[in-house]
Structure 1
Amino acid sequence: LAQKDRPMPAVELEALREELRELPWVKDARVSVQLPSTLAIDIVERKPHAVLEKPDRLMLIDAAGVELEPVAKDQTGDKMRISGPGAAKQVAPLETLLASVPALVPQLESAEWVGNRRWNLSFKSGQVLALPEGAETSANALIKFARMDGQNRLIGGQVATFDMRSPPRIYMRVPGRADAVEISGT
């Protein structure tokens, strides 16, 4: 694009396409020559999906975890915040996990990828749900938690942390209590 004097037949379309695809917001590009003097470029833009919390800044990322641009905290809107080493590469599996419990999604504030193997979900109420590792195990635990919340209104209650890392048990930590309360699940 910077070579305005180059004749149209000499434009390297594939090289130009690859150059465009290197831009953070460009997911794909189609480039063609329409003789005598037109270069047609169609851009498929990446859509911001979540906010990745890095140690020194916040980054908008798309659904594939590609970093788009830094963003200020007051400009994140209602996008899910994710954190933890390797979390950007886990955005798609997180979306699959959350799709199993659509009623809980509006109540979620952030998700932390822990130890490169499992998620901690934080709710807008300040409560944290520690899920077990493994896609199927964590999905089953999250569905079980959603059912329990539907029956007992756990979110917004006194419990600060729900730990489901040892199925079928759920450990709940209430601030001010020294002992964890154990509920055996079915």
Structure 2
Amino acid sequence: SAHGARRLHWASMVGLGAAVIMVFLLLLTSPILSIRQVDVEGAVYADPVRLAEVVDDLDGSAILTADLDAAKKKLLEIPWVRQARVSMHLPSRVTVEIVERIPIAFFRAVDGFNRVIDRDGRILDVIEGDPTELTPIIGTGPNLSAGSFAEQPFLGSAQLINALPYELLQRLKSVSVAPTGDISLSLSENIEVLFGSPDDFQIKLVGIVNEIKRQGTNRYTVLDVSSGEPSVR
């Protein structure tokens, strides 16, 4: 009868749906779709031990249910990592793409060890020696651990170094921070730039560049832009 045919049809549909769900559940846990390869790209200075922990957590997991967001979060906790992307490639591969932070300066802390920082003031490393390729920030800083962030005036110093135009960056020897929070720059030819508080970067930097050009070959040892109006002496 028509009624019986409809019941048979619905029973078939329910059975088919159950079979599809069962197959899907089997696939979720099947070794066929487990992560067997994790490729890491862009890691140079990032802690290999912490990277390996993330890779180990992913390796062997079911690829369709692996928590890629948690893996990304763990990667971003590594001091040297600025950006991270974790993506799956069926049936069994995951790629980890890392963009590392760029060191820009260092300062010596109370404990006598140097803190290497990037433009955001993030502490990338704690080391003994002076890294000659980085700009020294002169002034004793706090004992911060790798992964934490420096506050003013060390943050402002890093931001200032990052903002310097090429012609000033080439002449930069060091940055000094005062207990008041003011910043000064030591340039080649024995010129000290009194920058003042770490603010109004654009106005002050334009003032420095223009004043150096205006002075030409005139002799001076101090260029003061702390008020926003450049002056020399």
> What TM-score do you get using the length of structure 1 for normalisation?
0.68
Percent of paired sites with the same residue: 24
Counterpart AA for 1:120: S
Could you tell me which residue of structure 2 aligns to residue 65 of structure 1?
Answer: 121
* Count of residues in correspondence between the two structures: 162
Larger deviation, residues 136-145 vs 52-61: 136-145
Instruction: Measure the CA separation in 2 of the matches of 1:168 and 1:66.
Output: 31
Higher strand share: 1
Please state how far the C-alpha of 1:46 moved relative to its aligned partner.
Answer: 1.3
Distance 1:140-1:26 versus aligned 2 partners, 3 A rule: closer
Letter in 1 for 2:205: A
Which residue of 1 is the match for residue 159 of structure 2?
Answer: 92
The 2-side partners of 1:73 and 1:125 are apart by 26
1:94-173 to 2 correspondences below 5 Å: 94-96=161-163, 98-99=164-165, 102-114=166-178, 115-116=180-181, 118-124=182-188, 127-133=191-197, 134-135=199-200, 138-139=204-205, 141-147=207-213, 149-154=215-220, 159=221, 161-163=222-224, 165=226, 170=231, 172=233
8 Å contact kept, 1:104–1:146? no
Indicate the SS of the match to 2:216: helix
In the alignment, which of 22, 37, 46 is matched to residue 92 of structure 2? 37
The CA deviation at 1:5 is 3.8
- Report if aligned partners of 2:136, 2:175 keep a CA contact under 8 Å in 1: yes
Whether contact under 8 Å (2:161, 2:169) holds in the other structure is: no
AA of the residue aligned to 1:119: I
Higher helix share: 2
- Structure 2 residues not aligned, in runs of 5+: 1-54, 140-150
Structure 1 segments of 4+ aligned residues over 6 angstroms from their partners: none
- Deviations along 1:72-93, one digit per CA (max 9) or x if unpaired, are 434332x222245623422234
Tell me the TM-score normalized by structure 2: 0.56
> Are 2:44 and 1:25 equivalent residues in the alignment?
no
What is the Cα-based RMSD across aligned positions, in Å? 3.0
Q: Deviations over 1:51-79 (max 9, x none)?
A: 233332222222222211124434332x2
Residues 81 and 74 (structure 1), Cα distance of their counterparts in 2 relative to 1, 3 Å cut: closer
Larger Rg: 2
Q: Secondary structure at the match of 1:104?
A: helix
- Per-residue CA distance 1:102-160 (angstroms, 9 max, x = gap): 433322211124433x4211235555332344415533542354135533144xxxx4x
**Alpha carbons of structure 1 residues 140 and 40: separation in structure 2 relative to 1, 3 Å:** closer
Report if aligned partners of 1:108, 1:122 keep a CA contact under 8 Å in 2. Answer: yes
Give the whole-Å Cα distance in 1 for the aligned partners of 2:227 and 2:80. Answer: 41
Contact 1:33/1:39, CA 8 A, preserved across alignment: yes
Q: Does 1:10 align with 2:65?
A: yes
